[in-house]
Amino acid sequence: MSLKKPLCPYCRKELSDANIVDLYASQGCDTCGYGQEITGKIEIHCDNCEKLIYVKEFTDRPNG
């Protein structure tokens, strides 16, 4: 059984592997705290139609 990749909501083409990695990016681990100091913004554009399909913003989270 093969898993299908997510589709761009605009052009309906499969997202690239790089798009999928960015889509599932997180701000670190809640259990161990690794990566929680990361701040920034990820904008995901479809590699086919180049439209902006998702924005993730990471801000400082309080420890604990």
| Backbone angle region of 8, left / alpha / beta, with phi > 0 → left and psi within -120 to 50 → alpha | beta
Q: Is residue 40 part of a domain?
A: yes
User: Rounded to the nearest 5°, which phi and psi values hold at 43?
Assistant: -110, 125
Q: Is residue 32 part of a domain?
A: yes
Residue 40's pLDDT is 78
Q: Is residue 8 part of a domain?
A: no
Q: What is the model's pTM?
A: 0.65
Look up residue 53 and give its amino acid. I
Q: Is residue 7 part of a domain?
A: no
Residue 61's pLDDT is 58
What is the rounded distance in angstroms from the CA atom of residue 47 to the CA atom of residue 40? 21
Q: What is the pLDDT along the chain (64 residues), one digit of tens a residue?
A: 567 889 999 999 999 999 888 888 766 666 666 656 667 788 999 999 999 999 988 776 555 4
Q: Is residue 49 part of a domain?
A: yes
Q: Is residue 3 part of a domain?
A: no
Domain count, the chain: 1
Q: Is residue 1 part of a domain?
A: no
Residue 45's pLDDT is 94
Q: Is residue 2 part of a domain?
A: no
Host domain of residue 45: 17-58
